[in-house]
Amino acid sequence: MTSDGRAGEGALSDEASHKSRAVSGAGFMVIGAGLIQWSAAIVTRVFGQVGPSATSAWRFLLGAIVLMAFTRPRLRSWTRHQWVGALALGASVAFMNQCFYQSIARIPLGAAVAIEYLGPFLVSALGKRSARHFAFVALAGLGVLAIARPGGGLNVAGILFAGGSGLGWAAYVFAAHRVGGQAEGFGGLAVSMSIAAIFTLPMSMGSSAFVLAHPYVLGRLLLVAVMSIVLGFGCELQALRRLRPSTAGVLFALDPAVAFGIGLLILSQSIHPWDIVGMVCVVVAGAGVTVDAASSESMVVQ
């Protein structure tokens, strides 16, 4: 076989590899979204007993314990850049989740996630590379506007907390991409969630006696921690290892659709026709940008 033939086979192999990474990244993103939003629906029933802030803190504490027990990262070999990345991820996710739990305690889950999505949406808008990509970003934005329309049972406090969560989410996209690239396995996630647990620990101390005295509450918090911190964020970390932050930001557009579906099924929260319009927009945008990402990556390889 000629050298040109071997080069052609290598290019086809690289193209298939990049497409496979883009598709698998999208798959991990969808699974992670489902787990995180499902856990959010489950955990709302604890808000009345310990409050949103304490609930978020317990989630990080229990999730960090499980992750550290299973991964046992070799911290002595960590570089300064790895620690900075883990610190950035821990701080951003702690802020994001504290605001998010305060938001879903006040407004419907789907609306909160739709407003929160504006954070990574801006990451995608700033990272656009083509008119086609910008069109997908614009379509996702229109979908978010349809979902978060006025008169949808929202209030100012819930909107502000959801917006704050969106800022944390935008920082999380970049931080998770960095940690995923610097730390092998789930060691980086374990350290980052431990840092988030330290940041939020003071918020859980006032409820410790109640939680430890009620195994049912502790068990629900542990279930939520495993679903969201261990499995949900674990899936998202795998996705962000395979995708650029701008691409991941648009794929996060699937989260509002997932949240509305879970809110309907688990929390019996109603869905308006405009919500359906918005969900269609964000799902089409998310699917379109996945194909667009796979095509653009293969062109770079060629």
How do the domains of the chain map onto residue ranges?
A: 34-301
Q: Comparing 97 with 246, which gets the higher pLDDT?
A: 97
State which H helix or E strand residue 128 sits in: none
Q: Comparing 181 with 32, which gets the higher pLDDT?
A: 32
- Kindly state the average pLDDT of the residues 90-118: 91
Strands (E) in the chain, as ranges, are none
pLDDT at 180 over 90: no
Q: Lowest mean pLDDT: which of 66-80, 98-112, 239-253? A: 239-253
Looking at residue 254, its amino acid is L
In the chain, DSSP finds a helix count (H) and a strand count (E) of 15, 0
Calpha distance 234→231 (Å, rounded): 5
Q: Which of 94, 23, 103, 29 lies closest to 63, judged by CA?
A: 94
CB 210 within 8 A of CB 3: no
DSSP 8-state class, residue 226:
I
pLDDT at 151 over 80: no
Calpha distance 196→190 (Å, rounded): 10
Quick one: pLDDT band at residue 301, thresholds 50, 70, 90? very low
Q: Comparing 277 with 7, which gets the higher pLDDT?
A: 277
What pLDDT is stored for residue 21 in this prediction?
73
In Å, what is the CA distance from 254 to each residue of 52, 136, 144? 24, 13, 10
pTM (two decimals)? 0.80
Calpha distance 48→120 (Å, rounded): 30
What pLDDT is stored for residue 186 in this prediction?
75
